[in-house]
Every structure is written in C-alpha cells, then in structure tokens.
Amino acid sequence: MPVADALKLTCTACGQANRVPASRLGDAPKCGVCGAVLVNGEVAELDAATHDKMTRGDSLPVLVDYWAPWCGPCRAMAPEFAKAAKVLAQEARLGKLNTDQHQEISARAGIRGIPALILYRNGREVARLAGARPAADIVAFVRQHAR
C-alpha cells in the first residue's frame, strides 16, 4: 500500500500504532496487535500515553474532551460528545481525558476550565472550544477546523 494512502491510527485499547488504508476506514479496521476496532464511532477513554501518541501521530484529526467526574457541565455534555463521535466516525477520532487523573497533561495543554475541547491534526493543536456544547456544535467545530 502506498504511504500516501495509509493512515496512522493509534489503538486506544493497547496503544499500538497501526497503518490503515484510507479506503478501508468504513470496514471497521482492527488493531494488528490486540484486535480492537480502531474506527468505531465511540468515545475512547484516554490515558496519558495514548493521549500523547494519538495527538502527536494520528493521521485522522483527534478531538479530546478534557473533563472531570465532579464537573456538572462535563457530565451533561458526555451524551452529546458521544453523539458527535458517531457522526464523525470516519472524519475524526474522539477521546476523553480525565483532568484529575492526568494533571500533568492538563497543565501542558493549558487547560484553565472544563469541559474543554481541543482538536489536534498532524501532531499539533489546530483549535479549541470551551464549555459544554450540543452534538451539532461539536460536529460543526470539527468539520470547520479539521481540513
């Protein structure tokens, strides 16, 4: 497969980097190591290592929701974020990072309030959005900034 046609996707289950043909995104590609589905329209719960691998190396845009369990607006937005993940399944990957458990990443990302959404593409931050949002706003935000 030519390099131009291959997408690099980090497995959210085991952290392994995988190469997937762009034309196969709709076929539920699986991780070559653990067999987990790589593109499934679900929100992934991220740990520090997976967060860093995805945001620095994945070919598809990655939208991370920085949240905490005690945050009411974060909990209220969770179902909307999940709806957006389903809509954006083949356009972007969505993940959540608990800022209480991963304070060093929150500090490095400059998170000052939650929920905070940061969109990464090609290893860098391209846009951020503060506050709880409905699914339609999340989808529009990704589509506007992911190109």
> Pick the catalytic residue: 11, 31, 34, 71?
71
pLDDT over threshold 70, residue 1? no
For the domain that residue 104 is a member of, what is the CATH number? 3.40.30.10
Considering the chain, what percentage of its residues have pLDDT values greater than 90?
88
100 inside domain: yes
pLDDT over threshold 70, residue 74? yes
8 inside domain: no
pTM here?
Answer: 0.94
Instruction: Confirm whether 74 is a catalytic residue.
Output: yes
Sheet with strand 116-121: strands edge to edge? 44-45, 93-98, 62-67, 116-121, 124-130
Q: For the residues 9-15, what does the mean pLDDT come to?
A: 95
**pLDDT by residue (tens digit) across 13-61?**
999 999 999 898 889 899 999 999 999 999 999 999 999 999 999 999 9
Residues with Cβ within 8 Å of 56's Cβ and at least 6 positions away in sequence, in order, are: 120, 123
The encoded tokens of residue 76 equal 């209220």
pLDDT over threshold 80, residue 3? no
- Would you state the pLDDT for residue 146? 85
102 inside domain: yes
Instruction: Confirm whether 71 is a catalytic residue.
Output: yes
22 inside domain: no
- Would you state the pLDDT for residue 4? 55
78 inside domain: yes
What total of structural domains would you count in the chain? 1
125 inside domain: yes
Q: How far is CA 114 from the centre of its chain?
A: 16
Q: Which domain holds residue 57?
A: 41-145
Question: For all residues of the chain together, what is the average pLDDT?
Answer: 94
- Would you state the pLDDT for residue 88? 96
- Would you state the pLDDT for residue 86? 96
Query: Quick check: 108 and 54 in contact, CB under 8 A?
Result: no
Q: How confident is the model at residue 9 (pLDDT cuts 50, 70, 90)?
A: very high
Query: Of 40, 53, 69, which is closest to residue 105 (Cα–Cα)?
Result: 53
Query: Quick check: 43 and 95 in contact, CB under 8 A?
Result: yes
Q: For the residues 6-10, what does the mean pLDDT come to?
A: 94
86 inside domain: yes
- Would you state the pLDDT for residue 110? 95
130 inside domain: yes
